[in-house]
Amino acid sequence: MAETAQRARPTFARLAVACGVGSSLEFYDFLIYGTASALVFGRLFFPQSEPWTATLLAFSTFAVGFLMRPIGSIIFGHFGDRLGRRRMLVISLSLMGVSTALMGLLPTYAAIGIAAPLLLLSLRIVHGLSVGGETAGATLLAVEHAPEGKRGLYGSLVTIGSPLGAFLANGAFALVLLLPEADLYDWGWRIPFLAGIAVVLVGLFARRNVAETPEFERLAKTERTERAPLIVVLREHKRLVLLTAGVNLGFNAFMFIVVTFLLSYGSQAVGISRSVLLYGSMAGSIAQVAGIVYFCRLTDRIGRKPVLMAGAIFCTLWGFPLFALVDSGDPALAVLGIVLAFGGSAAIFGPMLAYFSELFGPELRYTGVGFGYQIGAVLGGGLSPLIANTLVTAAGGSSWLVATYMSAAGLISLLCLFGLPETVRK
């Protein structure tokens, strides 16, 4: 009996491991693909193209993974709202880790021709499906176990997974970039992907002892689960889905330009060392972790919307200063711009998922949170590196159009937040 009670109420430390570590490992898998797209995939899988075109094609496969995320949210959300949060998280983590490890074993274009990018694309689809199920599920595991008044703090256990994953991914590539160029393109790039095997083992171990959430157990006992949660969400909560998607769109557009596009732009167009840019992203990831914890705790005291709106304003305004610092060609100024971009955006990213989970009832929460969040991720993060690459080409190598695009996307987030209610005092 005591063991059952203990499993029903996991400690903060146990949830931190299950949600934070598991989520960070999941995003490690996801982000190393974006890093590889910016640095090596163009040459390895699309060698018949010019460098910028090859990078564009690599970013296109990156976008395909994002397009799969809403589909993943529908599939995992359906079963997560009907069968439970925990078991869906085990499946999503397993799919992500295995597909990542297989990417590290792929032959390149030089070995098997057109089959190489096609296989890469197939594994990228699996990537996207699994991330579509991971984000909402990990959020609900944390937030639905949270004590009253601490949902923002507990929600931070999931969002810190993104910068921690970025730190690990950039760190892994920073190490392999120390290799001679011939070794990097021959076998060194595979090492971060093969580490996906360890990702699966550590992530599954972290989640194996965490019980199902009390809110879902109450739903299951009273037979209040929905048979078709997506249909109910689209019929009764369409406005919520559109507005939450818009909130995430601006943040994702901002963040994935910083995380992925700047690696190729800063090195190819400006001439800053790729290693310097990676180290800047690593430092920014640490700043974002600290910012997420601070801003999430702040939302538990003053409300979600004031903090989220401050973050949206930052994303709207910071694009132009960011590119001015990068375009200076000074490595220190470029790193400063990247670190501030990570840290300031934590105000909107940190509390976002906890806020979204409070907008939907528990019987629809996995589907509602996941679908809205992932639609925004597709329209923002999935397309932003591709759009940014195109805008730089259209502007003759200048970055001002990209900065304008970041500002417009941030404004969308801000306007959508105006249309959503406060949830802390509900």
- What is the spatial distance between Cα 37 and Cα 81, in angstroms, rounded to a whole number? 34
Q: Which two tokens stand for residue 323?
A: 């590119």
Whole-number pLDDT of residue 50: 61
Contacts of 94 (CB under 8 A, 6+ apart): 200, 204
For 216-275, the pLDDT digits (tens) are 888 878 767 777 888 999 999 999 999 999 999 999 999 989 988 888 888 888 889 888
For 26-52, the pLDDT digits (tens) are 778 777 777 777 677 777 887 766 666
Model pTM score: 0.85
Burial (Cβ within 10 Å: 0-12, 13-18, ≥19) of residue 271: exposed
Whole-number pLDDT of residue 1: 38
Whole-number pLDDT of residue 376: 92
